[in-house]
Homo-oligomer: A and B are copies of this chain.
């Protein structure tokens, strides 16, 4: 009963819900795909958003998606891009308008964990985020296949652990959210050869989240559930990068891991 955790959230909701008749529920957005996916990883941790929180998104091309690297103001269209980060930010800025969140995107295409580490002081720690969302890992596997990258699953595990340890040292109170790397088999770049090797990266990301008390977003479970509703190429452009529909699902799942 995954929603049992939300009792505290309920009391924070605006009066709207207090007056809600049962018929009202029909007009609310139904997180059916996301809720089904999260139900499988219950109980799950939620991060509480607070007034003026700085929310930083870090990752690879899935995170960077369309952002203008010359723009750095928080909550800015150009700086946020047009992928799941913009979609998540727009949802947060609407739903938690009273919190005056400051949301930034520093994802860079192609990044693996060691490349996040190389720019971590500038692009994460000095920004002093209160909420830090990291999604990295698909390139740590994919580039071993396509680009001769020599890192192994153990490199990923070790590098990720070091990055999170360094983060917690610098920002002891940071609220961490770790997104699961995912792949959609059968769409362009992703075929049977990815498995079971790629699964270990997903597991390592979940373990890292557990080890560091981070909220974990089970994107693979979300995408797997989504494929019960529409074909794989409805949700992903190439097996690695989400379509507009896939990015919308990611944003919905991200928002499921926070509460006001």
A residues within 8 Å of B by Cβ?
3-4, 6-7, 9-10, 13-14, 16-17, 20-21, 23-33, 35-36, 65-66, 75-77, 80-83, 86-87, 89-91, 93-95, 97-98, 100, 226, 229-230, 234, 243-245, 247-249, 251-252, 255-256
Closest B residue to A256 by CB, please name it.
Answer: B27
- Structural contact, B226 and A95, CB atoms closer than 8 A: no
Copies of this protein in the assembly total 2
Q: What DSSP secondary structure best describes chain A's contact surface?
A: helix
Which residues from chain B contact A20 at a C-beta distance below 8 Å? 25
- Structural contact, A229 and B31, CB atoms closer than 8 A: no
- Structural contact, A243 and B75, CB atoms closer than 8 A: yes
Which residues from chain B contact A97 at a C-beta distance below 8 Å? 33, 226, 229-230, 234, 245
Closest B residue to A80 by CB, please name it.
Answer: B244
Query: A256 CA to B28 CA in the complex, in Å?
Result: 9
- Structural contact, A244 and B86, CB atoms closer than 8 A: yes
- Structural contact, A32 and B6, CB atoms closer than 8 A: no
Partner of A95, one of B29, B75, B87, B234: B29
- Structural contact, A6 and B29, CB atoms closer than 8 A: no
Q: How far is the CB of A10 from chain B (nearest CB, A)?
A: 4
Of A28, A29, A94, A245, most buried by chain B (CB within 10 Å of CB) is A94
26 contacts between A and B (CB under 8 A): A3-B21, A3-B26, A4-B23, A10-B23, A14-B30, A16-B32, A27-B35, A27-B256, A28-B30, A28-B31, A30-B95, A75-B243, A75-B244, A80-B244, A82-B86, A86-B87, A86-B244, A87-B87, A89-B244, A90-B244, A91-B248, A93-B234, A93-B243, A97-B229, A97-B230, A98-B230
Given contacts A66-B77, A230-B98, contact A247 B90 (CB under 8 A): yes
Partner of A252, one of B66, B94, B245: B94
Partner of A244, one of B31, B66, B77, B243: B77
- Structural contact, B86 and A77, CB atoms closer than 8 A: no
Given contacts A3-B24, A25-B17, A28-B28, contact A90 B87 (CB under 8 A): yes
Q: Which 6 A-B pairs have the closest CB atoms?
A: A10-B26, A90-B248, A93-B245, A94-B248, A82-B82, A28-B28
